[in-house]
Structure 1
Amino acid sequence: IYLEAENLFSTSSSTLEAKQTSFDFNQALEKTLERFEKKIAQKEDKGFIGVQFNIPHLDNLLGTIEKGHFCVIGGRPGSGKSTLAQMCAMQTAKRYNMPVLFISAEMDTPTLTNRMISALGHIPYNNLHNGEIYDGMFEKLTGTIAQFRNLPIFIEEKQKPTISEIQSYARKAKRKYKALGCIIVDYLGLIRDPSKKDRVQEVASISRDLKAMAKEFDC
């Protein structure tokens, strides 16, 4: 019932906030120039454009990850995919001050938050995980929490979410924050689409839906 209500709300909102989808070439050129000018202003103001991972070599290799892009981080188990996703979330929230929706299908909220606090405060994660605090580390921890407690990161902890649930979470976050800087799903392999029986078709369908969401929410 909740998801159906969300879908109805989304339909009515989309009608009220209709987005232009048809352009003649002159309008297309004007829209492109407007985006280009925004990039110039942003680069002059912040020194970079797009989403960054704060790993210079990787950022240089990837180039700019812009709004509306659907990006998949791939790698072997334990290679740091979740850590990279968390860094992306923190950079977007901290440097852009843009809201982030983080859908955590693998980690519980305290584990995810511990990892972020560890990175933000330069506090060894194992100490936080094991409750081993030494040499002024507690003061550093409380100081980090006080400094970053208002970061606009919205966490949804859900095991094996469906694409409909993810869309519902995104609409809820957008109503709360008015706009989203990025949506992160950790991870793709745990999302389910009950309408598909074959796993290959399921992943393909989920990928298409997530790509459409990136454009719909412009993040």
Structure 2
Amino acid sequence: MIPAQLKDKVPPHNAEAEQASLGALLLDPDAVPHVLRYLRPEDYYVNANKYVFSAIVALFEKGQKADLITLADEMRAQGTLDNAGGPAYIAKLTDAVPSSANVEYYAQIVRDGSVRRSVIKLSADIRQKAHDDGIETSLLLDELQEHIFEISQDRQSVTYKSVKEIVPETMKLIEKLSKSTSQYTGVPAGYPDLDSMTSGFHDSELIIIGARPSVGKTAFALNVAAHMALREKASVGFFSLEMPDVQLMNRLLASEARINSEKVRSGLIKPSDIQSLMDAASRLYEAPLYIVDVPNIKLLDLRSLARRMKSERNIQVLFIDYLTLVTHENSDLPRWEQISSISRSLKALARELRIPVVALSQLKREAEGKQPSMADLRESGSIEQDADVIMFLHRDREIEKRMDERSPYIPTELIVAKQRNGPVGMVNLLFFPNFTRFESLDKQHSGH
């Protein structure tokens, strides 16, 4: 609903700049790729100009240059020539500007008008939704923040760099790494064999941890997140979409204190364990670990909240437990297509925030009882393409059957099946189910 005082106002635009930008492109067709940094056909307010620019772009994509003849022919093929005013209007455009020298300036003016119209439309939409008591205020604010961010970022960062710019940046990074006291280039997970293989979790990476149910995905992710927050002093975000935050904290406390998690959950703690529990609680109380407890969170809300956490808490790693519980905005899409879109969005989020994003994933039922492979990732083959690192937790059921029932641990394999910038391989871990805790075989050198 648009306020009455605004209904009669013409939306922001500059018709002269629109015509000048098109006239300049006709004078200099080689300027099209430069203008495409700023503009798309929908950025033009006057329909005739929108039709003309669409045809110019279509010719550019075909490798042809726009002039009075080719442009009229293309618009005729698109069925827009008459609606735009015919060949006479195209000829008029070349008279609108003396040269193409200021074409990018004209394009920026057109873009400015488009942004202002987008803001007006967003304001009207949000105003209408704000009157709906059925929409939570927090969701309303998140949606507003998300759309403002999209408007501000749209086409602003699409550019290129020369190697003259990239070489100094790269040398600075190498110099920084050479002076670092850490042997790893990313945030260590706390398992020496894994960290030796990956050199830690790196910025802009999408890391997938897959397993069948009850193998310990959440426990492993929590162990890694706790190590990063407690021992690496990294700020960590953890989206728990399956487990309430209090239950998650029970697991963290049991793991840190090495106390039976069932006893922690039920409150049946031995007096001798109280001090260990208090010490663990004290350490976790100070940890820069931020938990989001929202079942079936929408992808839009997840991205919006992740940006807030980066801005407000400077999170350095983000965990999502787990990927297929994220809700896509378009529920009409096939499930595999929704998961593909979510996977791509998480990779884009990792690049945008320049942090590793770690997403847990269920494996297909067919993976039960056998060593998992990337083909076992559930509901989407695109996860395999989008991910920089893919790991699987796996237990050999035959070995598990032969284990003494009194054994406190279960041997577990962590398989690094894909690593875009490093080797693949396997790491042997021990899972202590009573403590919901994974430890390295060589516990003395483990960060856990």
TM bucket (normalised to shorter chain) is 0.7 to 0.9
Of 130, 135, 141, which aligns to 1:2? 141
Of 27, 38, 45, which aligns to 2:176? 38
Q: More strand per residue: 1 or 2? A: 2
Separation of aligned partners in 1, 2:340 and 2:227: 29
Corresponding residue SS for 1:74: strand
Which consecutive residues of structure 1, in runs of 5 or more, have no partner in the other structure?
none
Cα displacement string for residues 187-210 of structure 1 (whole angstroms, at most 9, x for unaligned residues): 001111132520111111000000
The residue number in structure 2 matching 1:105 is 241
1:39 shift after superposition: 2.3
1:122 shift after superposition: 2.4
The residue number in structure 1 matching 2:222 is 86
The residue number in structure 1 matching 2:359 is none
The 5-angstrom pairing of residues 1-219 of structure 1 reads 1-11=140-150, 22-42=160-180, 44=181, 46-177=182-313, 179-196=314-331, 197-219=333-355
State the percentage of identical aligned residues: 25
Corresponding residue SS for 1:154: strand
Separation of aligned partners in 1, 2:299 and 2:279: 37
What is the Cα-based RMSD across aligned positions, in Å?
2.2
Cα displacement string for residues 154-209 of structure 1 (whole angstroms, at most 9, x for unaligned residues): 111111111101012112212321x2211110000111113252011111100000
- The one-letter code sitting in structure 2 at the alignment partner of 1:29 is V
Separation of aligned partners in 2, 1:12 and 1:140: 50
Separation of aligned partners in 2, 1:88 and 1:181: 13
Separation of aligned partners in 1, 2:174 and 2:194: 23
The more displaced of 51-60 and 70-79 is 51-60
1:19 shift after superposition: 6.7
CA 1:106–1:208 in 2, change beyond 3 Å: closer, same or farther? Answer: same
- 1 or 2 for the larger relative contact order (CA 8 Å, sep ≥6)? 1
CA 1:157–1:176 in 2, change beyond 3 Å: closer, same or farther? Answer: same
Cα displacement string for residues 43-75 of structure 1 (whole angstroms, at most 9, x for unaligned residues): x2x343313332223333444321110111011
Which consecutive residues of structure 2, in runs of 5 or more, have no partner in the other structure?
1-139, 356-448
Corresponding residue SS for 2:206: coil
- The one-letter code sitting in structure 2 at the alignment partner of 1:190 is L
Query: Is the CA contact 1:70–1:214 (under 8 Å) kept in the aligned structure 2?
Result: yes
Query: Is the CA contact 1:180–1:218 (under 8 Å) kept in the aligned structure 2?
Result: no
Corresponding residue SS for 1:142: helix
CA 1:13–1:156 in 2, change beyond 3 Å: closer, same or farther? Answer: farther
CA 1:35–1:19 in 2, change beyond 3 Å: closer, same or farther? Answer: farther
Separation of aligned partners in 1, 2:309 and 2:220: 22
